[in-house]
C-alpha cells in the first residue's frame, strides 16, 4: 500500500475523531440533540459497509468506516438518553427500511448488492436528521456533517481497490453530508433573519 494512502486513511480517521468529539461536546452542552433513529441506522449500515470493504480489500480507505461503527453506536446510545424524542411516521419508515436492508443483505450475501442497498438506506437514515434540522437548525451540528464530508473524501482517495463494494458507500456519503451541513447553515441564517 502506498504511504500516501495510509496517510489519507489516518487523516480520515482523525477528521472523524475531531468531528465526533466536537459533536459529543455539543450533545453534553445541550447544543445538539441527535436523532436516535439516524444514528442507529448509520451504525448498522457502517458495519455492513465495513464488512464489504474489508472483503473487497479497501485497505486504509475502510479505516474510517470501522471507526464510524463504534462512534455511531455510541451516539445512538447517548441519543436514546438525551437526544431528540419526537418521532414521526417518516422516522419509523426510515428505521424500518434500514432494518429491512440488513435482512436483504443477510439473504443476498453479495457485497456489491449489499453496498447498493445500504447506500440507499443510509440516505433514508438521513431523513429524520434532515427533517429535524430543517425545523430546528440550532439542534444539529453543521461542523460534524462538514467534517464527515471531508473524512469520506480522504477515505475515498485512501482506498486500495476501487469497486462498487469498496467505493460506493463512502463516495455517496460525501455529497449528502455536505448538503446537510449547508442546509443547516442556510436554515440557521434564514431563521435568524426572521
- What's 139's DSSP letter? G
Query: What is the full DSSP assignment across 43-67?
Result: HHHHHHHHHHHHHTT-GGGGHHHHH
Domain residues for the domain of 122 are 3-193
Does residue 126 carry a pLDDT above 90? no
Does residue 94 carry a pLDDT above 80? no
Q: How far apart are CA 187 and CA 134, in angstroms?
A: 6
Does residue 157 carry a pLDDT above 70? yes
Residues 142, 135 contacting (CB under 8 angstroms): no
Domain count, the chain: 1
Q: The pTM is what?
A: 0.84
Amino acid at each position: 500500500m502506498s504511504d500516501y494512502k495510509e496517510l489519507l486513511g489516518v487523516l480520515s480517521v482523525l477528521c472523524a475523531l475531531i468531528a465526533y468529539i466536537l459533536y459529543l461536546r455539543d450533545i453534553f452542552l445541550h447544543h445538539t440533540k441527535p436523532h436516535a433513529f439516524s444514528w442507529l441506522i448509520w451504525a448498522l449500515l457502517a458495519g455492513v459497509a465495513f464488512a464489504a470493504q474489508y472483503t473487497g480489500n479497501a485497505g486504509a480507505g475502510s479505516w474510517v468506516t470501522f471507526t464510524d461503527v463504534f462512534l455511531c453506536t455510541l451516539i445512538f446510545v447517548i441519543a436514546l438518553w438525551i437526544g431528540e424524542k419526537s418521532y414521526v411516521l417518516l422516522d419509523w419508515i426510515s428505521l424500518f427500511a434500514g432494518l429491512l436492508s440488513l435482512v436483504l443483505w443477510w439473504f443476498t450475501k453479495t457485497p456489491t448488492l449489499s453496498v447498493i442497498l445500504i447506500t440507499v438506506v443510509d440516505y433514508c437514515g438521513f431523513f429524520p436528521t434532515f427533517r429535524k434540522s430543517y425545523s430546528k437548525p440550532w439542534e444539529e451540528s453543521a461542523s460534524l456533517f462538514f467534517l464527515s464530508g471531508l473524512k469520506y473524501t480522504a477515505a475515498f482517495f485512501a482506498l486500495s481497490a476501487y469497486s462498487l463494494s469498496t467505493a460506493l458507500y463512502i463516495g455517496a456519503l460525501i455529497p449528502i453530508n455536505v448538503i446537510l451541513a449547508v442546509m443547516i447553515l442556510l436554515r440557521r441564517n434564514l431563521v435568524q433573519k426572521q
